[in-house]
Amino acid sequence: VMEALDRNSYRAEARNVKITYDAPEGLEVIGDPEMLTVAVKNLIENAILYSEEGAPVGVGLRKVENVAEIAVTDSGLGIPQEDQARIFERFYRVDPSRSRATGGTGLGLAIVKHVASTHNGEVKLFSKPGVGSTFTLRIPLADKNVIEQDSDRSQP
């Protein structure tokens, strides 16, 4: 999550968006670090781009049972109910006037969904038009016993 925040810091500064971050220490998932970073980066990037200039964006990490939940909340336009089912499709855009020139390829959320699926997780959306959206990436937590066994095996 920290790497994804770092990769978006210039974009947030350019739009005067203040990102708040809240997370406990020590949550670990097993997976491809770069893929997971890209997924979280895409969610944060969208939150910055779809929020008004100067608006807040929230990023939170928490443990829910055996899952790490990464929630990214914006204060943007929100996504109409009729578009929410299709938002994770490749190239789908709620606002067709947004082209590559104004921001993105329409692949970001499809990539997030793919990364979640690849890691036996999921991505959820809660959105209210006129209020904003929260995207929550849910990835199973690493089993501490498995991690300890793997590190024991790597010792000579």
Which are the contacts of 92, defined by CB distance < 8 A and separation ≥ 6?
Answer: 83, 86, 106, 110
- Both tokens of 151, joined, read 């590190």
Q: Where are the domains of the chain?
A: 2-154
Q: What is the CATH number of domain 2-154?
A: 3.30.565.10
In 3D space, the residue among 25, 42, 7 whose CA is nearest the CA of residue 115 turns out to be 42
pLDDT band at residue 106 under the 50/70/90 scheme: confident
pTM of the model: 0.84
Task: Output helix, strand, coil percentages for the chain, rounded to the nearest 5.
Answer: 40, 25, 35
Question: Residue 84: what pLDDT?
Answer: 76
Query: What is the average per-residue pLDDT within 26-38?
Result: 92
Question: Residue 151: what pLDDT?
Answer: 45
Measured CA distances, 44 to 78, 110, 152 (Å): 15, 14, 36
Query: What is the average per-residue pLDDT within 51-68?
Result: 93
Q: Are 106 and 91 in contact (CB under 8 A)?
A: yes
CB atoms within 10 A of CB 56: 15
